[in-house]
Copies of this chain bind each other. A is one copy, B any other.
Amino acid sequence: MTLNIYLSGEIHTDWREQIVEGAKGLDVNFSGPVTDHAASDDCGVTILGAEDQKYWHDHKGAMLNAIRTRHGIAQADVVVVRFGDKYKQWNAAFDAGQAAALGKPLVVLSPPEHQHALKEVHAAALAVAEEPRQVVEILRYVLTGALPG
């Protein structure tokens, strides 16, 4: 059994690296969005031409990024969505909604203080973790049956 894991959400901490590192040796493939914030914001206008309006600048970029993110979610066997401490993070919740509607098993990684605000997303998840280490433990258990410790 191989699992394709899509790592969605917050791009300002090293949570993805922690999971990829921790999962070494497991039969998993990881994918996720472009995590270079500047490239992600400007990709549309850089490739397809500048826009005067900020709205269309953002729109062109968001549509290009959607080629990657929709493909990643569609190919995933498990979608992990991380909510961090800052920013609105509506794209994370949007990805979670897509995953839920496609019937993808959803793992949410979020701090306790966001529990109430995330209750609808949590209700669609098969696991709610607080630490990247727990996501690794979930993947190991799902793939091998082995529990930590």
Contacts and interface: CB of A to CB of B under 8 A. Distances in A.
Nearest to A68: B142
A90 B89 contact: yes
Contact of A66 (B65, B91, B126): B126
Going nearest first, the 6 A-B pairs with the smallest beta carbon separation are A97-B97, A62-B123, A93-B93, A101-B101, A90-B93, A88-B117
B97 A120 contact: no
Nearest to A47: B137
Contacts of A87: 117
Nearest to A128: B48
A45 to B, nearest CB: 10
Contacts of A128: 48
